Every structure is written in C-alpha cells, then in structure tokens.
Structure 1
Amino acid sequence: MSEHTPIGLENGAAPVTALTHSGNFHVDETMGYVILHYALAPQGDLRARVLNEKSADRLTFIRTRNPDVIKSADIVFDVGGLYDPTHGRYDHHMKDKPLREDGTPYSAAGLLWKDYGHAAIRNILKTPVDDATVDLIWKSLDKSLILPIDQDDNGVVKMGKLSLADIVSACSPPWDTAELYGRQEARARESLGFANAATAVASHLTNVVDRVRASLKATDRVLAAYENAEDKRILVMGTGMPTEKVIFEHDLPVVYVVSPAGPEQWNVKAVPPVRGDFGQRVSLPEAWGGLEREKLAAVSGVSDAVFAHPARFICGAGSREGAIRMAQLALQIAGI
C-alpha cells in the first residue's frame, strides 16, 4: 500500500493526464491503464480515451514516446526511465529497477497496483465493504493476478497460452499491418487493439475483484456452518457457494458438503484428498454409482434419492434431509 498520497487521489475532481508508450503493448501497461481508469475516473469511457474520442471525465490518456509530452504528463508508466511515485513516475526498465520484498521485479502494473489498487477496488465494487475487506481483496489479487504479470513482463515466469497476457498480445495488429495498409492505418489499428485489450482486461479485473469479495463472504459462512455442524465430517450449507478453498485453508476434516442445487434438489459432494484434485477423501458407495431415482432409492434406502454420479463424487436427493441422510449412510458404509 502506498505511503504517500498518489497523484489524482488527493483531489477527486482535478484533471489528470496519464501516459504510457505507443507501439507494441503488453499486459502490464494495459492493466496499468485499467487500474488508473477505475481508481481515478471509473465513470469515464475506457475505450474513448484510447481512441481519442470524447470521454467526459477528468482523466486524459496518451500513448506516445515523445519526450516533451512525457515530461508534461501527471502520471507516466512503463516509459520514461524513472520510478518516482511521489511525482507520478512508474517506469521499471532501469538498471536499478524497483523490486518486491521477495526480489521479483515490479512491472508498471505492479507499481500502479501498489499505489492505486485500493482505490480501484473501492470503485469497482457495487457492494460497500470495509477497509479491511478492501485490503484482503487487494492482497489476494496482488498474489494471484498482479504478481504473475510482474513475472511475465520481466521474463521471470511466462503466463503462458490462454492467459491474460496472451489475450492482450492477440489484440495487437499483425507485424505486416503497415506494409499492407500504410502507417496511418497501422497506427489506427494499434490504438483499436489497445482499446480492445483494455476492455478485456477491465472485464477480467472487475470480475475477479467481485469474485474475491464473494469468496471472503463465503469463508465466513463456511466457518460458521462448520462450527454449527453436528457431525464435523458433513458440512451443510444453506446456499450454494465455494467451500473447498476454505476447507483446505483451515484444515477442516469435512468429507461431504451438502448444499442446495435448485428449488427441488440438494446435492452431496465429496471433498477431494487434495485441493483441486479429482479424487475423493471418501468416495460415495460403489453400489450407488450411476443409479437414478427409484433404483437409487431402493439401494440406498433414501426415498427421494435423485442420482449418484458413476464417478461417485456427487449425489443428490429431493430434500435437505434426504441429502444429509445420504451423506450419513455413505460414511456408515465406508466404516468411518
């Protein structure tokens, strides 16, 4: 988190000019622009600024390598040869480049996230949250999204195919665009490509911010449900939500999770032995696998049984009570 007041955050109405380089673009400066958009002027038009169209807000965005224009901008990132956040300079291409505590070099996105990420998160969220929750979201995204961008942009670890970096790169016009269509058209297509990339990155960022918010909310509910559980091996949730992350992060001995799958069905899902694995700590009974309704009810003894997957990691019943009974029976049959 920033130790100074970043430019533009001290006065929410003052005009701000932000600048990055023209030419080939990557995920770090694209994400950097998106962060500034949400932190400083989220009501503005993300695409219009890039395409030099009218955006009625206080943020002006420029892509150039002109030294005189760079000097006059309020915030300069990924270009300029200087890291001085108190004066709005966020380059990382110097010999003595800014480093994270673990020694990973920052990218422009990482540097801007450090100063403007909290403000961006507050403006992205439609549901008000307290400062502590904003900070938890910031830390989660810093680790899962921004750090990989830092690593990719600095040649530490590549994000790989179908990553956000690859999606941004795919928005760039092909190398022979100027050869085929002329320099003016090539510049126009480059700007359009950056606008498209920024739109994709903005959509991803807003989605993951809200998903992390919801994940934190789920953590509280999962832990409360676990505390209230009669049998700590069976976690009964009143609403469908992610539970596996919480189970493993808090080392809960849960074997089955019971939750609603619709207005007329409750499911029992087996917890895997390792987070993200396809296996189960305890598989559902072998005799249930692949059966449905009457056949499953006859074998299981649960009258409203609906189905049991052939892989024996999930089954369902027509009621909460039926699903809980299936989980209890599965544990009895497994002898635990």
Structure 2
Amino acid sequence: MAESASKRLKPTPIIGTHNGHFHADEALAVHILRLLPAYAESSLVRTRDPALLAECHTVVDVGGEYDAARNRFDHHQRGFTTTFPGRPTKLSSAGLVFLHFGKEVEEDGPEVELLWRKLYESFVEALDAHDNGISAYDPAAISAAGLSKRFSDGGFSLGAMVGRLNPNWNDPIPEDPAEAQRQEDEKFSVASRRIGEEFERDLDYYVRAWLPAREVVQRAFEGRAAHDPQGRVLVFEGPSAPWKDHLYSLEKESGGASEVVYVIYPEKPVPGAKWRVQAVPSSKDSFESRKALPAAWRGFRDEELDGITNIPGGVFVHAAGFIGGHKTLEGAKAMAAKALEL
C-alpha cells in the first residue's frame, strides 16, 4: 500500500458496526482497528441506521459496501468475492480489516509480509470461513465417504467462543431501548476484547517465537547434506526449535528436490541430554509419516531395542513409529541412517 490506511484518519474516528446478535468477525475487526494508534481512542456505534452509519469514519460488517478508500468494509452484498492474496476463502469483515490494516499491527521489519500471511492463515481465515458458512472439509465428499463424527468435540471454536457471549434468548430485556442497547454493547465489548486477546497471543507467539525459529531451522536445513548426502536427515546440533511449518516452506522454496525424512534434536536444552529421532509427518497436521521408524523397532526400549537395532544406547521407539530416542547424538544419527536403509 502506498500509504498506510491509518494515516488517512482524522482525530478520534468513530467506528460503526451493526447492533443485535454479534459475531466473531466484527468483534475481531473492531479490536484490530483499536490496536492502531489512530483508532485507540475511537468510540463505537452499533446500529443498522444508514444515517448514523454515514457519520462513522469506518464501518465494518454492515452497510452493504466494500470501499477501502472510504473505509467501508462489509462483505454481505451480492457479488462480493474478495479473498486474501493466495487464499481461496471469501473474506468477512475480519479478513477485510486485516487485509488493509494487518501489516500496521505487526512490527516493522523485512518479515512483515511473512508474519502478515502466517497470521491470516493461522487465525483470521478460520473466522472468515465461519462467518461465510464455509466448511473446512468438502461436505459432499464427507457424505460420499460415509464419514460422521464419533463424538461431539464440544462445538468450541473461535466463532463459538464469541457467539456464546451474546445474550441468552430468555434473558430479560430492559424496557428502555437506550438501556437495552447499552447492555448489548457491553457484551459486545467483552467479546471483542476476548477474541482480541487470542489474536494478540497468536501475534506475540509468531513474532517472538515462530519467526526466530525460522533462522534456526534454515541453518539446519542448509547443513543437512553433512548428515545424509540426499539431505533426508535434518539435525539440530545446537538449540532446537518448532520446525514443522518452516521445514515445509523451506522445502517448497528449495524446489522440493529432496524431502527431509527424519529430524534429530536434543530432548532438553541441557548438557548430556538424550536425543530424539522424529519422522516427518506427510503434512503439518497429519498422523501419517513420510517414513516411520522400522516396524521391527516399534514398542521396544533400552537393551531390547539395542539387540534389534545393533546400535547400543537406544532409549525407545514409539509403538506408532513416529518417534524414537537415543542416549547420544551419534547414536540418534545411526538410528536415522539405518532406518533410511530399511
């Protein structure tokens, strides 16, 4: 953007959204705006009255208009199809506000674009899908496969978390319309803060932990040929870090010439720690491994495991084969090398 969206603002701009039953998308949209200095002291008007909305500087989730130049961010109008760059999910008011203001929420630096995309995909997109009635899985494909839930997962999601902060259907409503609106607005404020806390917690994690991990993973990724000529073993000889997200993206950026099969890292960041050998999942959230540790090793520990692998110092191999352990780094490397051969 040539000019940041918030720099167009006049002092203390008024934010408008709809009244009545509230949802996670406008609750988050309002919170994101209020994270920006220009909106920090903004008042909020919750109404469906076009005349009152016209007096608001910025309007989200109501009004039937998407016009970023005029700070109108609704998604309900016929023909609206806007998505986040590179993503298929139609935006809600949360996604629209994050699209235009999200980079200003994050810290300045060369990684702002990466953080902006990651935070959308990991947090905001789920709210866009929820508000637009888009399922995470294709309902027709699930039905055709005859799949159904084995049990209730409690119905808890980001959208449900906000939804249940609405008044109950049988809560008493004050006779005075102004008092009724005030009470409803108070509940919305609670909901906006609540979803905002989760958003800020994710933002803090990605800035302070996830992003620094990328450098650690990249060093290990670039040095993997020292452990396997085909680059199938990644070793964290120094500090280990959350690696799955970064490994998949680094493989994609490198052209996917060879996939990492096993990742080796210390069990704890202390001298003399034991070492883990973990099979890389087929995808980030999959329980299937690209190549699980050999079936003959699974479920065995200590001396029994040593007798099967012929690698003294083994600690365990999980019954599912996705992870194992050894007392030393060299032993863990030997386990990975042997597993590649079997």
**TM class by shorter-chain length?**
0.7 to 0.9
CA contact (8 A) 1:173 1:189 kept: no
CA contact (8 A) 2:65 2:77 kept: yes
Letter in 1 for 2:295: E
Letter in 2 for 1:257: V
Deviates more, 1:137-146 or 1:314-323: 137-146
Question: How many positions carry a matched residue from both structures?
Answer: 308
Shift in CA distance, 248/82, structure 1 to aligned 2, threshold 3 Å = closer
Structure 2 counterpart of 1:15, from 4, 9, 12: 12
Residue in structure 1 matched with residue 106 of structure 2 by the alignment: 121
Deviates more, 1:27-36 or 1:72-81: 72-81
- State whether structure 2 residue 163 is matched by structure 1 residue 166: no
Residue in structure 1 matched with residue 143 of structure 2 by the alignment: none
Q: Deviations over 1:59-114 (max 9, x none)?
A: 32332334454233222222234433333322333345463478865422222112
CA contact (8 A) 1:177 1:186 kept: no
- State whether structure 2 residue 207 is matched by structure 1 residue 235: no
Q: Give SS of 1:59's match.
A: coil
Following the alignment from structure 1 to structure 2, what is the Cα–Cα distance between the partners of residues 82 and 275?
37
Report the Cα offset of residue 258 of structure 1.
0.2
Residue in structure 1 matched with residue 97 of structure 2 by the alignment: 112
Give the superposed CA RMSD. Answer: 3.3
Residue in structure 1 matched with residue 43 of structure 2 by the alignment: 60
Deviates more, 1:301-310 or 1:229-238: 301-310
Shift in CA distance, 236/68, structure 1 to aligned 2, threshold 3 Å = same
Residue in structure 2 matched with residue 49 of structure 1 by the alignment: none
Q: Deviations over 1:33-73 (max 9, x none)?
A: 1211222369xxxxxxxxxxxxxx53323323344542332
Shift in CA distance, 288/106, structure 1 to aligned 2, threshold 3 Å = closer
Following the alignment from structure 2 to structure 1, what is the Cα–Cα distance between the partners of residues 241 and 25?
32
- State whether structure 2 residue 298 is matched by structure 1 residue 289: yes
Structure 1 counterpart of 2:21, from 2, 21, 24: 24
Residue in structure 2 matched with residue 316 of structure 1 by the alignment: 325
Following the alignment from structure 2 to structure 1, what is the Cα–Cα distance between the partners of residues 261 and 88?
40
Q: Give SS of 1:9's match.
A: helix
Following the alignment from structure 1 to structure 2, what is the Cα–Cα distance between the partners of residues 294 and 288?
12
Q: Give SS of 1:178's match.
A: coil
Residue in structure 1 matched with residue 279 of structure 2 by the alignment: 270
Gaps of at least 5 residues in structure 1 are: 43-56, 123-128
CA contact (8 A) 1:4 1:86 kept: no
Following the alignment from structure 2 to structure 1, what is the Cα–Cα distance between the partners of residues 118 and 90?
19
Report the Cα offset of residue 164 of structure 1.
1.5
Letter in 2 for 1:234: V
Residue in structure 2 matched with residue 140 of structure 1 by the alignment: 118
Shift in CA distance, 83/271, structure 1 to aligned 2, threshold 3 Å = closer
Residue in structure 1 matched with residue 171 of structure 2 by the alignment: 177
- State whether structure 2 residue 264 is matched by structure 1 residue 258: yes
What's the % identity of the aligned pairs?
A: 31
Q: Give SS of 1:269's match.
A: strand
Shift in CA distance, 190/273, structure 1 to aligned 2, threshold 3 Å = same
Letter in 1 for 2:60: F
Q: Give SS of 2:113's match.
A: helix
Shift in CA distance, 65/286, structure 1 to aligned 2, threshold 3 Å = closer
Report the Cα offset of residue 134 of structure 1.
1.0
Higher relative contact order (CA 8 A, sep 6+): 1
- State whether structure 2 residue 191 is matched by structure 1 residue 197: yes
Gaps of at least 5 residues in structure 2 are: 138-152
Letter in 2 for 1:26: H
